[in-house]
Structure 1
């Protein structure tokens, strides 16, 4: 059998390792952190197991459904009717359906109609190739007009991408609208899903199944170098030991690649270095009472420097208290990214009090702050041509991270899809056990 080394035990790395061992390979999965899961990993929030960074499931997340079925977890998926809010002009309004849009005060009817038309068409289109080289700002203004862009989109983009806001790919925005728009039971009703017990349920099952099949998971093992000989991968080095391998799958963030794989051609290193990322900070509150009745609230107020709020407990009904995420997205060069936790907590709770003036500090039962330097790729127009192929010029070495989901956004389904596709690209040993596949929704690797 082939010896496969997988770098990174986030969902993509776990999915790749699981698929590779199912295909008959010998697999070592190497992770720098003390626990598996990556962005889907949990922390103990005063007795509640909660994701550091919020997750949800949509109706079109087929790779997630396939994996849950394989792991015997299909009964753990729960669907919940959810709602959206929109905070603007000092008021929190219902959002996310045609009636809420039409009833929104202080907005011209033509702006609302054009906004609704764009959402309707975006949800129903399967292909929109001309958006690849168009900015989201240009596309939205063309369809909705300047007024609708300013009211509904401008601050959302600015507080997610800051100085890059005017040059984000329209294709990336469109696929986000489409994914959420297709997760509905009707035009009036949104439905989202969650895994009972949170993402940790899936992580634990993947690790358990991987190790029971003979796979080896190595935690606290940061990879320092991918080794090669005669333009073929030979293994990886960590501070504690070296691993030999016939194939290496890296799911590390692309900013690390040039230093980690010194034998790559220089032009490939430059392509990895050219991919930029936004950092993310999630400030998480445990509250005595709900902040809002919505799963998520979009914020469109220039002096509230957040794009929105996510109240996970309005999706996950297995939680006893209100769990609210206040996400900050920004370049890591922004001074706010280095703010101390107390300052972030003070500002973010002030944002929640704007949404719900009845909240007081006495409602706070617990707080947590999670930071990630590489949280969101900056996908500018033409981004598809900027991404290097998954298969590198070094034989046996595949490299991908969350930017390879483009034009789709980050999510568990895309992690599973790409991780398994990378493993399936490795030739199977002739003696590999044959698995009878269920319904599958695979993807081709970017080339």
Structure 2
């Protein structure tokens, strides 16, 4: 048994606590928020319990299914036929299947053929090591042509990564395409999943499993410092609270690591600081009327400054329409300083452009969720930039969503990494030679 402290009660931190306790370790889980769940946490949306930030499940997400099975909630997994579209030229263009591709007016015949071949081959590839040093733009243009990138991808990349848009990893993009591409009922029908009751069902099951095994969860406790002595971790301090530890798993965003672990060597702190993140303000609208028949609408329309609209109620059946409009942006972008009310009003106006029948009378409630570190910027050769999970301080493991690379953020990758870190508890208690950071 190793006395373990886990920092962060998001999906990865909760899963790490669950797995560590199952292995017989003593666990304290500490979280700055007043509720567990992180990006998977729910909020009360005018009487409806719903995720702060939208989540969906794909068929390749095996670690999610394994975790749900272990928690006894595998029967809560639900699948639903879904569809997607592009909004361009003032109208919706159905997307995501061969017929939609053949009949679309967004691309010319040659572009359709090249795009279809590239996506088909990508969804069937096992790995993307050959794309690790290639930019997403170069990869798309090489496979589908410059016209496809300019029409379908560039507007989305610009509104998610801004000044970093031209330098995003092709391996990261291709992995996302493969994950969704493999979540199909048939060649003509996409099928995505959700957990009955929302991601809160999983969060509650994890909390119950943790407390049932004697794990302690400390909410509303912001960590000030990870303490160490003699090259090994000794505990975690949060205000007046000190939790002694022989092992610590830190799941907070990497930009926060240098502040939390000042005893790390300078090279290690610099490696964490070098990982860039994009913020997000995710606006949720609860409506009487549907915006579109699609779960996901990519927006490539001049004058609409969001990359997409996610009509979550077209995946998870709900009594009212729930639509998410994410504003991804660097936190030095002028819009980051806008109030929630300003972004709520602007995004509702965008929904009205997509569906002109939508009126103010159709709006039941609106809410904005904000995260400063929401999306790591994964440039070409990003794999070599990620620090080792085992830090130079013995007993201290550090990982956040950028460690999922080339996979994107998601519960499945969090569960996979949590299991690996739990298994490593107690295996590195002796000071080790400092790893090389590039």
TM-score, normalisation: structure 2: 0.96
1:392 is matched with which residue?
391
Mapped pair 1:23 → 2:17: no
Partner of 1:412: 411
CA drift at 1:116? 1.1
Q: Which residue of 2 aligns with 1:170?
A: 170
Structure 2 residue ranges without an equivalent (≥5): 428-438
Structure 2: distance between partners of 1:199 and 1:185: 23
Q: Separation in 2 of the partners of 1:93 and 1:363?
A: 24
Q: Distance in 1 between matches of 2:230 and 2:107?
A: 64
User: Is the contact between residue 37 and residue 203 of structure 1 (CA under 8 Å) also seen in structure 2?
Assistant: yes
2:395–2:426 CA contact under 8 A, matched in 1: no
Q: For residues 240 and 212 of structure 2, what CA distance do their matches in structure 1 show?
A: 24
Matches within 5 A, 1:190-209: 190-209=190-209
**1:78 paired residue number:** 78
Aligned residue in 2 for 1:93: 93
Aligned-pair CA distance for 1:128 = 2.1
The separation in 2 between residues aligned to 1:126 and 1:346, in whole angstroms, is 43
Does structure 2 conserve the Cα–Cα contact (< 8 Å) formed by 1:12 and 1:418?
yes
Q: Is 1:321 paired with 2:320?
A: yes
Aligned residue-pair number: 428
C-alpha distance in structure 1 between counterparts of 2:426 and 2:343, whole Å: 49
User: Which range is displaced more, 91-100 or 171-180?
Assistant: 91-100
Q: Distance in 2 between matches of 1:302 and 1:112?
A: 22
Q: Within 5 Å, which residues of 2 pair with 1:138-149?
A: 138-149=138-149
1:277: which partner in 2? 277
Q: 8 Å contact 2:83–2:96 — kept in the other structure?
A: yes
Q: Deviations over 1:319-353 (max 9, x none)?
A: 10000000110001001011112211121011111
Quote the offset at 1:107 in angstroms. Answer: 2.5
Deviation at 1:20, TM superposition (A): 0.3
Matched, 1:422 2:410: no
What's 1:444 paired with?
none
Give unpaired runs (5+ residues) of structure 1. Answer: 429-447
Q: Residues 368-399 of structure 1: CA distance to partner in whole angstroms, max 9, x if unpaired? A: 00010000000000100001000011110000
Deviation at 1:185, TM superposition (A): 1.0
Could you tell me how far 1:194 is from its partner in structure 2? 0.4
TM-score (norm 1): 0.95
Structure 1 residue 106: deviation in Å?
A: 4.9
Aligned equivalents of 1:197 and 1:12: distance in 2?
20
Aligned to 2:249: 249
**Which residue does the alignment assign to 1:381?**
380
| CA contact 1:221–1:240 (8 Å) conserved in 2 | no
- What is the distance in 2 between the residues matched to 1:325 and 1:172? 23
Partner SS for 2:267: helix
Change (3 A) 1:222 1:102: same
Matched, 1:370 2:369: yes
* 4+ residue runs over 3 A deviation: none
Q: Determine if the alignment matches structure 1 residue 339 to structure 2 residue 332.
A: no
Q: How does 1:256-267 map to 2 (within 5 A)?
A: 256-267=256-267
Shift of 1:192: 0.4
2: CA distance between counterparts of 1:204 and 1:342?
Answer: 31
- Check if 1:236 corresponds to 2:236: yes
Residues in 2 aligned to 1:293 and 1:198: alpha-carbon distance in whole angstroms:
21
**Number of the residue aligned with 2:7:** 7
Does the C-alpha gap of structure 1 residues 245 and 139 become closer, same or farther in structure 2, counting only changes over 3 Å? same
Counterparts of 1:374 and 1:29, CA distance in 2: 21
RMSD, aligned α-carbons: 1.1
CA distance in structure 2 between the aligned counterparts of 1:305 and 1:408, rounded to whole angstroms: 26
